Structure 1
Amino acid sequence: MLSTKRAKSVEVRSKPGRIYTVLTTLGREIAQGIIPAGAVLPPECDLESRLGVGRGVIREAIKTLSGKGLVSVRPRHGTRVLPRRDWSLLDRDVLNWLVGQENPDRELLLAVQEVRSIIEPAAAALAATRATKTDLLRINAALTAMEASDSQATATAADKAFHLAILDATHNPVLQGFRGAIDTILSAVFVVAVDSVDGWFDGNLPNHATIARAIEERDATKARDAMEQVLGYTQTHLSKPKAGTRRRAGRTGAGRTLSQT
């Protein structure tokens, strides 16, 4: 009896993990076109056998996919994959499935950059009028970390912290709702950037510093303009074709091959 209770307890605790694993597997296959738009997912019994989970796990994962706009569930018609236009493209999971790959979709990255160019300059301007002392400390700490970064990992983390701190400094809950999307897209942009032109990181650093100063000086116009410069710099380089050889992130003598977004 005791062993049975323990087994059930382990099953209950591990079920969310199994649901997320199935969700991620199916989500990636849909996002990458392995299961194309218009296709019907295999029957639940086939998915159970293939993925090694129970029917309840399969149903919960499909319910979440439906909530993210990837599939439509209709009785007697099965679970059908919807076209990309119906997907929640700013959802953290969906974006990660689409661009969190070794070879991200550059066209999608450019599309998201366009959205960033609408949102983030306005966010920087709002931050200049609303940032608290704590917000300013976070923004400047992130800038300092960017200046001190010596690897792709530290540069990515610092750059994310900088942009997310500015979103938070708007104190607008709707704008803060874009945190997950921007966090995910910055990681993908770095993957592409490392394969592109040298000098992105150093070349765009002064623009980031200008944003931080403008917010501290409460100059909304200057903050907006500087953020437009940051995003325009990234947009230009993302539009360039991929380099023939992959460059490693890190310092190289007096320069760096890191990218900055």
Structure 2
Amino acid sequence: MSIAQTIADEIGRRIIRGDLEPGQQALVENDLVTEFGASRNIVREAVKTLAAKNLIRSQRRNGTFVELPEKWNLLDPQVLTWMLSEDNTRDALLTSLSEMRRIFEPEAAALAAERASPRQVLEILECYDSMEKYANDPKRAIEFDVRFHGAVLEACGNPLLRSFNESISMLLRANFNLSIQVDNAFIRNLEEHRIIAEAIRGGDPDRARAASIELLSKNENDIKKMHAMELER
């Protein structure tokens, strides 16, 4: 990681944590040069990085200010990494993910059943087979679960949805790391994955959609149980 990236990472995390509040004058160039022992050019590069993520905005002659959370680029992988690492932003982010998945995943599965190429069908089936094979190996199981959903998104044939794949995969990985801890959730959810895969192979959009809705409902319940368990600790 370069010095500019290190500075951007540190300041980004401060903003996400709430150490720097929206509207607050956040970045004084001289202060950053002193704090990080970096040149002005490097500090400016870090500031540009944060501005590109919509975490800050620069006002001519007035300085640099923290943006409102509603303006943050939540599809930026680095912003997601920062938010997932903080308890005060992680839970709300994953709740929003559940809502977003309900909006697009069932229809993406249905479209995949209509549009998937033989190669894409094979990839989805192979991901499912690996999920089943590694059901008792959480790390590998989660990885193939993420790949399964990514493969379905690719197979739906919608370029806008496919463009979300990297960001959605990061969020799914965090989601599954939580939900897998609840009552053998991964093994319980294999059946819906199997049905989705078979429906896509068989060109049955209605069955793919219904199984996806059922899977999302179970995942939401598992996340709620996980939050309840955390509160009891």
Q: TM-score, normalised by structure 1?
A: 0.81
Q: Indicate which of 234, 241, 254 corresponds to 2:219.
A: 234
Counterpart in 1 of 2:63?
A: 78
Q: Which runs of 5+ in 1 are unaligned?
A: 1-15, 247-261
How far apart in 2 are the matches of 1:245 and 1:75?
A: 46
How far apart in 1 are the matches of 2:27 and 2:104?
A: 39
Which AA in structure 2 matches 1:133? Answer: P
Counterpart in 2 of 1:24?
A: 9
Q: Does 1:41 align with 2:26?
A: yes
Q: CA deviation at 1:160?
A: 0.9
Number of residues of Structure 1 aligned to a counterpart in Structure 2: 230
Q: CA deviation at 1:102?
A: 6.9
Q: CA deviation at 1:33?
A: 1.1
Q: After TM superposition, list the pairs within 5 Å mapping 1:72-151 onto structure 2.
A: 72-101=57-86, 105-149=90-134, 150-151=136-137
Counterpart in 2 of 1:198?
A: 183
Q: Give 3-state SS (helix, strand or coil) of 2:58's partner.
A: strand
Which AA in structure 2 matches 1:166? Answer: V
Q: Does 1:173 align with 2:155?
A: no
**1:69 and 1:106, CA in 2 relative to 1: closer, same or farther beyond 3 A?**
same
**1:204 and 1:39, CA in 2 relative to 1: closer, same or farther beyond 3 A?**
same
More helix by share: 2
Which AA in structure 2 matches 1:114? Answer: E
| Identity rate, percent | 35
Counterpart in 2 of 1:161?
A: 147
8 A contact 1:102–1:191 mirrored in 2: no
Q: Give 3-state SS (helix, strand or coil) of 1:239's partner.
A: helix
How far apart in 1 are the matches of 2:176 and 2:88?
A: 11
Q: TM-score, normalised by structure 2?
A: 0.90
Comparing 88-97 with 207-216, greater Cα deviation is found at 88-97
How far apart in 2 are the matches of 1:109 and 1:164?
A: 17
Counterpart in 2 of 1:221?
A: 206
Q: Which runs of 5+ in 2 are unaligned?
A: none
Q: Give 3-state SS (helix, strand or coil) of 1:90's partner.
A: coil
8 A contact 1:91–1:180 mirrored in 2: no
Q: CA deviation at 1:191?
A: 3.5
